[in-house]
């Protein structure tokens, strides 16, 4: 019964209801668009940073590629790694 009364009350003023529905829909679309835009910009920034600031050849400690541990670095380029 309560839902039936609420439904009738919503559509009592069709113009007001249409404006509110349009405002909510446009707000959702705008929020989704801005979220997707910012996510795309973040991904683009990461990709361009790696493309511009890293070389084509990278030297890693032999154990670095096991789990990409930052502690596995090359301490000196003059000594041979075993």
In the predicted structure, residue 81 carries a pLDDT above the cut 60 = no
Backbone φ and ψ of 9, nearest 5°: -65, -35
With H, G, I as helix, E, B as strand and everything else as coil, classify residue 65. Answer: helix
In the predicted structure, residue 23 carries a pLDDT above the cut 90 = yes
Mean pLDDT calculated for residue range 25-41: 98
In the predicted structure, residue 80 carries a pLDDT above the cut 70 = no
Which sequence spans correspond to the domains of the chain? 2-55
Mean pLDDT calculated for residue range 61-72: 75
CB-based contact 10:17 (threshold 8 Å): yes
User: CB within 8 A of 10, min separation 6: which ones?
Assistant: 17
């Amino acid at each position: 019964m309560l839902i039936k009364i609420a439904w009738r009350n919503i559509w009592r003023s069709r113009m007001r209801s249409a404006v509110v529905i349009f405002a909510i829909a446009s707000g959702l679309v705008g929020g989704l668009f801005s979220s997707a835009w910012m996510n795309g910009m973040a991904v683009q920034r990461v990709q361009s940073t790696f493309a511009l600031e890293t070389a084509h050849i990278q030297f890693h400690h032999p154990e670095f590629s096991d789990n990409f541990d930052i502690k596995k670095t090359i301490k000196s380029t003059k000594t041979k790694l075993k």
